[in-house]
Structure formats: C-alpha cells, structure tokens
Amino acid sequence: MRRAIYPGSFDPVTNGHFDMIERSAKLVDELIIGVLNNSSKNSLFSVGERVSMLEELTCHLPNVTVDSFDGLLVDFAKRIDATIIIRGLRAVTDFEYELQIAQTNHEVYPDIETVFLTTRLEYAYISSTIVKEFASYGGDISHFVPQQFMGHIYAKYGY
Ligand code: PNS
C-alpha cells in the first residue's frame, strides 16, 4: 500500500496544485492532501475553508482525501502512516529549498521518501502568492485558479 502526502498551504489552491494532485493520485494507492494549519502565518483562508475547497475539487478522485496538520510534516506522516511526500518543482529556484527540506525530513524519518514532480509548463509561473497579489487589485485570476473558487477569492478582497 503506497500512501502519500501532498502537503502545502493551499492558500488558495491553484490550477498548478490541482494538476499535481491529479497526477500524483495516479502514482500511489492513497493520496492525502495535507493542509498546513499554520496559525502564525497570516492566511487568506482559514484551514477549514482550504480543506473544504480541496474536498470539493477532488471529490471525483476516489483515492484522494484531505486532512490538515499542525507542526512538523514528518510527525503528520508518521501519524497517518504515510511513507511518501510529494512536492512539485516549478523551476530551479524551488530546488534548493525543497532539497534541504527533503533531506532534513529523511534524516529525522528515514522511512519517508520525497518524490518530486515537475509542474506542467503552463502552470510553472503560478503561485498562491501571485494569485493573492493579483486578486487584491481585482486582477484577472481566471487562468490561475479553479473557476469555482474565483468568487471566494475576490470576496476576501471586497470585490
Ligand atoms: O505550500 P507550501 O507553503 O510550499 O508548503 C510548505 C510545507 C507545508 C510543505 C512546509 O512548510 C512544511 O512541511 N511545513 C510543516 C513544518 C515542517 O515540517 N517543516 C520542515 C522543515 S525542515
């Protein structure tokens, strides 16, 4: 049984995340999307809102579930008995940071393996940060996020 976590902040979920989720779900038996509940970080969406959006987005994928976690990713992985972490690489700029985290996680939990998938070129420039920046000025985010969440995102900025 290959159980994997696709962790992230998902604040908000983007088309790039969704592509990663669909592709990862084909590689493993079970995929758990782990939403980081980081109370010290100023999130646009509450963890509950982020979990429900991801649940709505993935309801057609039978081997995908959504959960949230506090604290260290490796502790969450141990708790749910997952041995694979999936991360997306958009560009070389992601690599250094991701390598460091993957090596640290492997050092403290040798059973965990991090698998990197390269994002599709058409989504390589998308990040939740850019989405928020655009949306905060009322910019067009229709190419960046799932259509059904555009209204939720604009509403956070009073549009
Ligand atoms: O969507 P993000 O912000 O790129 O996701 C980053 C995330 C949630 C994967 C990362 O920050 C994380 O694993 N946080 C939990 C705390 C932790 O385990 N840190 C390990 C650093 S070595």
CB 122: neighbour CB atoms within 10 A?
Answer: 11
**C-beta separation of 44 from 136 below 8 A:** no
Quick check: is 90 catalytic? yes
Q: Using one digit for the tens of pLDDT, what is the confidence trace for 17-32?
A: 999 999 999 999 999 9
Helix (H, G, I), strand (E, B) or coil at 144: coil
CA distance 135 to 159: 9
Find the 73 Cα to ligand 1 centroid distance in Å.
7
Ligand 1, residue 9: give the atom nearest the CA. 1
The DSSP code for 54 is H
pLDDT of 137 higher than 80? yes
Q: Using one digit for the tens of pLDDT, what is the confidence trace for 25-76?
A: 999 999 999 999 987 668 999 999 999 999 999 999 999 999 999 999 999 9
Question: Which residue(s) pair with 30 in the sheet?
Answer: 3
Find the 103 Cα to ligand 1 centroid distance in Å.
13
Q: And the tokens for 80?
A: 């749910």
The type of residue at 120 is R
Torsion sign across C-alpha atoms 156, 65, 7, 115:
negative
